[in-house]
Structure 1
Amino acid sequence: MQFPTTRTVTQSHHGDDHVTLDYDARFLRRKVLTSNGGIQFLVDLDQTASLNRGDAFQLDDGRLIEIVPASEALMEVTGDLTRMAWHIGNRHTPCQIEDGRLLIQHDHVLRDMLEQLGATLRDVVEPFTPEGGAYGHGRTHGHAH
């Protein structure tokens, strides 16, 4: 079966359709996806990309498929946010930073550590768009900056 293909990611808030992906699924290079409207298409990028709201796949037939972050199970962290952010970052954990709270993915070891540090934790379900890497856009891995 032949799918429409995309080799291009662009900025768009007015796509012909959209695809809802969680944080882990928004890190990809090559994969067949199905839009919320049922369009199957092949993502075939030159390199792995970290995608977020506002990005869109441009199909070879010209259609745009917007990327929408899916709601997922997260931990909301409140308390001494500067201190908590330091400890979360020290463990290279993706973290969404907002006024008055931090959001991280569920991890029982981090939960225990943050509770011991005095954080208040609450389970939430919402889209997750953590901060990108300090040395460029998107995610970074390791220390080879």
Structure 2
Amino acid sequence: MTLHAHDIARATSEAPVDFVELTYEERLIRRKRITTANGLSFVVDLPETVGLDEGDAFVLEDGRHVVVMAADEDLMEVQGDLHRLAWHIGNRHAPCQIEMDRLVIRADKVMRDMLLGLGAVVKDLREPFRPEGGAYGHGRTMGHSHGNQPHEHAHDHAHDHAHHDGHDRLHTLMQGDAPAGSEDGHHHHDHTHDEVPNLRPHHHHDHKH
């Protein structure tokens, strides 16, 4: 008998039976067959399309939870005048991960050329993508599609602390204990094109060329 998941638990603290790693695009989901890290197969069949965040979980029809983790994907790290660069990225409705000393967006040649033209320093990397949500924390910024494939020669990039933190949180959940601070929820910042988004700190990233 095929298992189904008809519901989502947001930022769950319940111990999951397993986990699945999904890219940003894959986390926009309504109906899809999923196979977890340990081989559990089920069909996601939701009433409507939803955007998932890391830490959300699929609720199986038997009550078990499968937690969602952000998968590694091809991205670009952007440094420079972040307020100005963030405005131009937002003006193109591109999803963006905003941190204190960098912006992270999906790999895209047209965006790269635009940012380089604005004086940005752009580096290829491969890591989980956790962009800002919408006004209610789970929104999606629907960017313009440029029809370009990601850059083929991405630099090797060591997993950042955020990636390790995500897997540490998964380990904690698998042990059945709620992570510290889980009751605080996630704070997201929605902004219009005329506003400057808040920048949050992140841990230093070392790039290997």
Q: TM-score, normalised by structure 1?
A: 0.92
| Residue in 1 that maps onto 2:115 | 114
2:5 & 2:116 partners in 1: Cα distance?
44
Opposite residue 125 of structure 1, the aligned amino acid is R
SS of 2:105's equivalent in the other structure is: strand
1:6 & 1:42 partners in 2: Cα distance?
6
1:126 matched to 2:114? The reply is no
Asked whether the equivalents of residues 53 and 69 of structure 1 are also in contact (C-alpha less than 8 Å), the reply is yes
SS of 1:24's equivalent in the other structure is: coil
| Residue in 2 that maps onto 1:82 | 83
SS of 1:25's equivalent in the other structure is: coil
1:134 & 1:61 partners in 2: Cα distance?
32
**TM superposition shift of 1:134:** 3.7
* Larger proportion of strand: 1
1:12 matched to 2:12? The reply is yes
Task: Pick which of 128-137 and 103-112 moved more.
Answer: 128-137
2:114 & 2:141 partners in 1: Cα distance?
24
2:27 & 2:83 partners in 1: Cα distance?
27
Tell me the number of residue pairs that the alignment of Structure 1 and Structure 2 aligns: 141
Asked whether the equivalents of residues 24 and 129 of structure 2 are also in contact (C-alpha less than 8 Å), the reply is yes
Cα 1:135–1:36 shift into 2, 3 Å: closer
Asked whether the equivalents of residues 53 and 138 of structure 2 are also in contact (C-alpha less than 8 Å), the reply is no
* Structure 2: tracts of 5 or more residues without a match: 144-209
Opposite residue 12 of structure 1, the aligned amino acid is T
| Residue in 2 that maps onto 1:101 | 102
Among all aligned residue pairs of Structure 1 and Structure 2, give the percentage whose two residues are the same amino acid. Answer: 53
2:26 & 2:140 partners in 1: Cα distance?
13
1:141 & 1:122 partners in 2: Cα distance?
23
Q: TM-score, normalised by structure 2?
A: 0.64
2:117 & 2:106 partners in 1: Cα distance?
18
Asked whether the equivalents of residues 51 and 138 of structure 1 are also in contact (C-alpha less than 8 Å), the reply is no
Asked whether the equivalents of residues 95 and 141 of structure 2 are also in contact (C-alpha less than 8 Å), the reply is no
